[in-house]
Amino acid sequence: MNFVEALREGHLYQLENNDSTYIIGLGVNYANGADGSTKGLAELYPDRVLDVPVSELSFTGMAVGMASQGLRPIVHHGRIEFAMLAFDQIFTQASRWDYMFGGNYPCPVALRICIGRQWGNGPQHTANYHSIFMQAAGLDIFIPATPLDAYRASIYSTLIDKPSVLLEHRWLYKTMEQFELGYDVTHDKFETAAIYGDGEDFTLLTYGDGLVECLKFIDFSKEKYGYQGKVICLKYFSADKRYSEDTIKALLACKNVVAVDTAPFEGGILASFIGFAITHNKHEKINIEKCAPPHHPCPTSPALVGEYYPNVKSIAASLANFGFEFNELPELVFDDLHIAPGFDYTNYKFVNIY
């Protein structure tokens, strides 16, 4: 099952199991609605899968109002730049609703916002503004990295009594994973991170679509050079506590850490997490390198984008700062740099951290 199909299965599960569930967004009723993630759902639930006017502010606000009165709307924004037209409703209304009214007045609107890289999309369709949401106290943040994450987050986010945002990396839509539907949907917690692999030589810290390049690098460095590494992938940032103690402990136990960010590093999610971990544990020392795009928007031309996002080569260059030697690196072809990967996660072992 790929990432998009997993989201669709999550929606189908909720539409079947809770009559209060609505899916609202531009073109969600199309044959291939929301990039396929709502495909066929409007035929099954015509009153609850709703196309809307191109009025991001008002349809998002309508969903916030619906959620305040006990319904469970899911709002889809195809690109974060369009969701930003609705920031009043997301930030100033939904995220503060329960708090400003003194509690016991939940507003469980679930927002799906597509974000990040895709060929040809350029400076105004590829913004990686994850960190903006971190300051929206009251809002739960999910950044799924795999189809299983996407499936579970799409359900979990509609079960909790908080407003939430799923930041979906379009780059991951073709990634694959085999898992059983119904898996763990009633679990009362969502993992804040997962650790892939158990190598001690180095650690890659990432989230979202950074995971694919990190796992590719782990495989490459093991096969070619015998290095043993692991990946810490951040997945969920609760409104109540953005970073968990156990994830901080996991990071501080590592050596030779490279933060692999697909958004510019400064002011980003990983910089924030690392900063918090260090201030929180002031006696620990940890060496961290970064591997991230430069601090400018993503351009459009493939000739320019090729150098923008982290890849196996740039991760190797960051690790070289710790003394690792990579004399020979793989040649990256056009598809490696520009086409969404059909990467299969199925055989990668991971351990969740809560």
Partner 1 sequence: MLSTEFSMNLLSKMVQIRAVEELIADDFFKSKIFSFLHLSIGQESSAVGVCSALETDDLVMGNHRSHHHYLAKGGDFDKMVYEVYGDSRGCCKGYGGSMHMLDRSVGFVGSTPILGSVAPLGTGIGFSIKASKKNNIAVVFIGDGAAEEGAFYESINLAALMNVPVLFVIEDNKYSVISAHSDRKAKDYSYPKIIEGLGATYHRMEARDVNAVSKQTKLMKENILADRKPAVLHLDVVRGTYGHSGPMKEKAPGYRVNDTPEFIEANDCITVSKDLLIQNGVEPEKVEALIANTIKETEEKFLNIRNQIKVRI
Report the residue number, 100 or 332, with the smaller CB distance to partner 1.
100
103: left (phi over 0), alpha (psi -120 to 50) or beta: left
Report the residue number, 89 or 118, with the smaller CB distance to partner 1.
89
What is the size of the binding site for partner 1 (CB under 8 A)?
A: 30
Q: Which of residues 85-144 bind partner 1 (CB under 8 A)?
A: 88-89, 92-93, 99-103, 105
Strand 350-353 to 193-196 pairing: antiparallel
Report the residue number, 64 or 270, with the smaller CB distance to partner 1.
64
Site string for partner 1, 52-91 (x = CB under 8 A): xx-x-xxxxxxxxxxxxxxx-x--------------xx--
Report the residue number, 69 or 347, with the smaller CB distance to partner 1.
69
What CA–CA distance (Å, rounded) separates 189 from 247? 15
Q: Nearest to residue 309, comparing CAs of 293, 296, 329, 327?
A: 293
Question: Exposed (0-12), middle (13-18) or buried (19+): which is 194, by Cβ within 10 Å?
Answer: buried
Closest separation between CB of residue 139 and partner 1, Å?
A: 16
Helix axes 210-225, 312-320, angle to 10 degrees: 70
Helices (H), 74-146: 80-83, 87, 97-100, 130-134
What length does the chain have? 354
Report the residue number, 232 or 239, with the smaller CB distance to partner 1.
239
Answer yes or no whether residue 21 interacts with partner 1 by CB under 8 A: no
Closest separation between CB of residue 58 and partner 1, Å?
A: 4
Report the residue number, 19 or 200, with the smaller CB distance to partner 1.
19
6 near 178, Cβ under 8 Å? no
Helices (H), 135-209: 147-159
Q: Which residues sit at the interface with partner 1, rule CB under 8 A?
A: 50, 52-53, 55, 57-71, 73, 88-89, 92-93, 99-103, 105
